[in-house]
Structure 1
């Protein structure tokens, strides 16, 4: 019989990879069969249905495997329905069932399933399955990071002029936020850097930092479920995580820079025009 007392989370880690693959297959099927026959007006419903269905598959499978009530869950869809978004010391799964829903609708080829696991508020492992590319990124704390079982590592570029930087525009289209985002991008582009990119999914962007394809990714306004799994993968690939003001990374703060090293991260932080985003789990002010 297997002895899991030595290593309590290996079984959970292996199972998370299995569940991510199953969820990814579900997303691919929905994309192939349903988007083709839909008018644009129905697509929003499809996205919601797919998100909800995939999250149910993930959380349902985890509850069945580990027993109802033993673990906590923070899932994008459940939070949208009013479930609390609070990270406690209990074993907690942090899930984004479909990261890149706009991509999914347009068949832009980056859509990810993101599953992370934290205990005592410490991230233990992360799994990101980029399901349209069929790339399985995964990492456990202290054990390295992998893509399709091959070890991955951040790039060794230290010269900002030779870097590619990633960011996203976020969903808040208020002119003042958009101005700040573009001011930041303009300043970074004019350093100058080799390029600015965005895949449309935070989880995938972080995995691209981890594989060394790009040097850094930053964003304000993301949620814990977008970045929790990627955070483990980046760190285990040798990268670093910081707040956009250069302070320590805080999973619930909705702001992050991840990079291959401190030199690149600090150089980018100098250019970021910071704006506020309400913390995950913070009470919504009454109107």
Structure 2
């Protein structure tokens, strides 16, 4: 595929994200005025939410995509949730989360995004993430760099600040929607180790600067690409949460690795792995891998099966 075609797809995705974002912004304004989308629970999990707007935005995106590129493939969160069969092939494929941060959307918390990823030959090639509530547009195409609002090259710090030790890092993570005791206890214990003061009894304690959560996997990845968050770790995301953000992080000079405690720090993440560890850009790859290694000393073994089960991820 030529660079001209890639640029065409990128500009299409940017416009599509902005148009979808306008629907989301109008729905948030409507909710704040006392009306708006009905809220549903998915899989009988009270933390796993979907609204009419999630479905409407995905249908809008899907219709525009198939009208413009009828031969392309589509994987979307709500399409998957409805039970429709999806298949990942070598063909040009759009991977979409209509609203990443549905809980935020419901509460009016301004970290909400439409996420549009594009793969070619199964390789993440284009990523666009748009937060219509803060009017922040993140975009990237393979080999072309990553940008904020089309003009600001990422990361924001140029050159990137040094990565020396996890104790100097700001870490992003999320609670996720699986609140089973086994999972939530493991996540809280990991956060405890990320924050706990180092001493002779706890050699792997990180004593990091702090923890941040946005409620959106896509925006957490974009914060890594910006360089305002040093590390992002999460278990339980789906491909539509991360497909676009992974391209944006990579094109900013960051790394996205498989966030498994039993994986080496050099295992590049597969978009379907459901366990992700992102490290921001740095002056050298060795320092990024050093931070990844420190994180993997703290990451617990948490199961995140591919099959949709109660407790599946939905921000």
Normalization by structure 1: what TM-score? 0.91
**Superimposed CA distance per residue, residues 146-178 of structure 1 (whole angstroms, 9 cap, x where no aligned partner):** 001210126533222111000001111111100
2:174 to 168, 175, 195: 168
Matches within 5 A, 1:200-211: 200-211=215-226
Counterpart in 1 of 2:294? Answer: 267
Query: In 2, are the aligned partners of 1:239 and 1:259 still within 8 Å (CA)?
Result: yes
Matched residue of 1:263: which SS?
helix
Structure 1 position 199, deviation (Å): 0.3
Matches within 5 A, 1:50-89: 50-66=53-69, 68=70, 70-89=71-90
Matches within 5 A, 1:1-287: 7-38=4-35, 42-44=38-40, 47-66=50-69, 68=70, 70-148=71-149, 149-153=151-155, 155-190=161-196, 191-245=206-260, 246=264, 247-260=267-280, 261-279=288-306, 282=307
* Structure with more helix by fraction: 1
- Structure 2 Cα separation of the partners of residues 198 and 6 of structure 1: 36
Query: In 2, are the aligned partners of 1:99 and 1:112 still within 8 Å (CA)?
Result: yes
Structure 1 position 33, deviation (Å): 1.3
- The count of residues paired between Structure 1 and Structure 2 equals 277
- The CA RMSD over aligned residues, in Å, is 2.1
Structure 1 position 59, deviation (Å): 1.2
Matched residue of 2:207: which SS?
coil
- Structure 2 Cα separation of the partners of residues 51 and 204 of structure 1: 17
Matched residue of 2:249: which SS?
helix
Structure 2 CA distance for partners of 1:230 and 1:283, relative to 1, 3 Å: closer
- Structure 2 Cα separation of the partners of residues 266 and 5 of structure 1: 37
Query: In 1, are the aligned partners of 2:95 and 2:116 still within 8 Å (CA)?
Result: yes
- Structure 1 Cα separation of the partners of residues 234 and 165 of structure 2: 21
Normalization by structure 2: what TM-score? 0.83
**Superimposed CA distance per residue, residues 56-85 of structure 1 (whole angstroms, 9 cap, x where no aligned partner):** 11111111112x2x0000000100111234
- Structure 1 Cα separation of the partners of residues 55 and 254 of structure 2: 32
Q: Which runs of 5+ in 1 are unaligned?
A: none
- Structure 2 Cα separation of the partners of residues 5 and 137 of structure 1: 22
**Superimposed CA distance per residue, residues 72-108 of structure 1 (whole angstroms, 9 cap, x where no aligned partner):** 0000010011123432111100000000000001111
Query: In 1, are the aligned partners of 2:39 and 2:52 still within 8 Å (CA)?
Result: no
Structure 2 CA distance for partners of 1:155 and 1:204, relative to 1, 3 Å: farther
- Structure 2 Cα separation of the partners of residues 248 and 42 of structure 1: 39
Structure 2 CA distance for partners of 1:204 and 1:283, relative to 1, 3 Å: closer
- Structure 2 Cα separation of the partners of residues 141 and 266 of structure 1: 26
Q: Which runs of 5+ in 2 are unaligned?
A: 42-48, 197-205, 281-287, 310-315
Structure 1 position 5, deviation (Å): 5.4
